[in-house]
Each structure stands twice: as structure tokens, then as C-alpha cells.
């Protein structure tokens, strides 16, 4: 399956909603507007020519300096033709909402819970959206960049030369 074929088909179906396309990295990547991400993934899975029937990975990402700082990254795999694709979508800090893909892939259930747990991204329509790896009474989302790895009030350690 050629990249150009996927690009053509996707642009034909979702022209307005594809914000960016990237062929330079190892996997063909698209940035999609957040309201249609479910439709795009559903199209990629169910269209008989696309057939991306395996959700390899789903995770969050946080770019604090961008207008839309929180992102969700999906890796899909067409197992019959061995083609991978990467779909990204970005949302705001105040309304971090993306619709769930658990209706398409059962495997998305825990991966979305993990993303919610670490980034606070709310997956609308998820059957059981609660924290999974961290304790339930935690009141912050630890993988967001503003949360330091160590207790920020510590004074006995100077990490200036070793940290980021």
C-alpha cells in the first residue's frame, strides 16, 4: 500500500479536517482536528481499501508552548499489508475532550484510561474512565510538563547541571 494512496483517500474524505501531513518520519503521520478523530479512525478501520484493523498504541503528549498543548497519538496497523499509520490530535488545556475509540477497539479501553490518568484528557463516551496506574485520590496529572519529577520544595539538591 502506497503512502500516496492513503493520502489521496484521506484528503478526499476529510479535506477540511486534516491540519497537517508528515511523510518525513518513519511512519506516515496526520494531525487531525479533534472533533473528527473518531470518524477518521473509524474510516481507516472500516474502509475496505484501508483496513487498519489493529490499534497498536495510544498515548498522550504535552507541548506546553503550543496553542493546543495536549495531544493524543494513535498508532494503527494494517496487518494484512503491513502498513502503519500515525494519527495525532490536539486539544486545549481547558477543554481536553476527545471522543473515545473503545467502540472500535476494545484494546483502547485501558490505553485511554492510562492517557486520562497521566494527562487528564477526557475521552467522551468511555465506559469506565477513571485512573488506572495511579491512586484514585491523586489530584494532578503527572506526565504534564509542569509537574516536576521530584518535590520542587527540596533545597538540599542542586540539579542545574544535570537536569533538563
Partner 1 sequence: MTDILDDKQYTTLNLGPTHPATHGIFQNVLTLDGEQIIDAEQTIGYIHRAFEKIAEHRPFYQITPLTDRLNYCSSPINNIGWHQTVEKLLGVKTTKRIDYMRIILMELARITDHLVCNSVIGVDSGALTGFIYVFQEREKVYEIYEEVSGARLTTNMGRIGGFERDLSLKAVKKIREFLDHLPKVLHEFEKLLMRNRIFMDRTIGVGPISGERALNYGFTGPNLRAAGVDYDVRVMTPYSSYDDFEFIIPVGTQGDTYDRFCVRQQEIWESVKLVRNALENLPEGSFHLDVPQFYLPPKEAVYSKMEALIWHFKIVMGEIEVPVGEVYHSVEGGNGELGFYLVSDGGRTPFRLHFRRPGFIYYQAYPEMIRGGVLSDAILTMSSMNVIAGELDA
Nearer to partner 1, 13 or 132 (CB): 132
Nearer to partner 1, 13 or 77 (CB): 77
Q: Residue 38 CB, nearest distance to partner 1 (Å)?
A: 16
Q: Residue 8 CB, nearest distance to partner 1 (Å)?
A: 23
* Alpha carbons 77 and 44: distance in angstroms, whole number: 10
Nearer to partner 1, 59 or 68 (CB): 59
Q: Residue 164 CB, nearest distance to partner 1 (Å)?
A: 6
Nearer to partner 1, 9 or 84 (CB): 84
Q: Residue 95 CB, nearest distance to partner 1 (Å)?
A: 22
Q: Which residues would be at the binding site for partner 1 (CB under 8 A)?
A: 25-27, 53-57, 59, 61-62, 73, 75, 79, 82, 84, 86, 105-107, 109-111, 114, 118, 132-135, 142-143, 149, 161-164
Q: Residue 9 CB, nearest distance to partner 1 (Å)?
A: 22
Nearer to partner 1, 8 or 47 (CB): 47
How would you write the chain as a 3-class SS string? CCHHHHHHHHHHHHHHHEEEEECCCCCEEEEEEHHHHHHHHHHHHHCCCCCCCEEEEEEEEECCCCCCCEEEEEEEEECCCCEEEEEEEEECCCCCEEECCCCCCCCHHHHHHHHHHHHCCEEECCCCCCCCCCCCCCCCCCCCCCCCCCCCCCCCCCCCCCCC
Cα dist. 23→8, 37, 151 in Å?
Answer: 13, 19, 40
Amino acid at each position: 500500500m502506497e503512502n500516496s494512496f492513503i493520502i489521496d483517500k484521506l484528503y478526499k474524505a476529510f479535506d477540511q479536517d486534516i491540519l497537517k501531513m508528515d511523510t518525513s518520519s518513519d511512519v506516515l503521520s496526520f494531525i487531525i482536528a479533534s472533533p473528527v478523530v473518531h470518524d477518521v479512525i473509524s474510516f481507516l478501520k472500516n474502509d475496505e481499501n484501508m483496513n487498519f484493523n489493529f490499534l497498536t498504541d495510544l498515548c498522550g503528549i504535552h507541548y506546553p508552548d503550543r496553542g493546543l498543548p495536549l495531544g493524543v497519538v494513535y498508532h494503527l496497523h494494517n496487518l494484512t499489508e503491513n502498513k502503519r499509520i500515525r494519527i495525532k490530535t490536539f486539544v486545549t488545556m481547558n477543554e481536553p475532550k476527545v471522543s473515545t475509540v473503545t467502540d472500535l477497539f476494545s484494546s483502547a479501553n485501558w490505553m485511554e484510561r492510562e492517557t486520562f490518568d497521566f494527562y487528564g484528557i477526557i475521552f467522551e463516551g468511555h465506559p469506565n474512565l477513571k485512573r488506572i496506574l495511579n491512586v484514585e485520590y491523586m489530584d494532578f496529572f503527572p506526565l504534564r510538563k509542569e509537574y516536576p519529577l521530584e518535590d520542587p520544595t527540596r533545597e538540599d539538591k542542586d540539579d542545574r547541571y544535570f537536569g533538563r
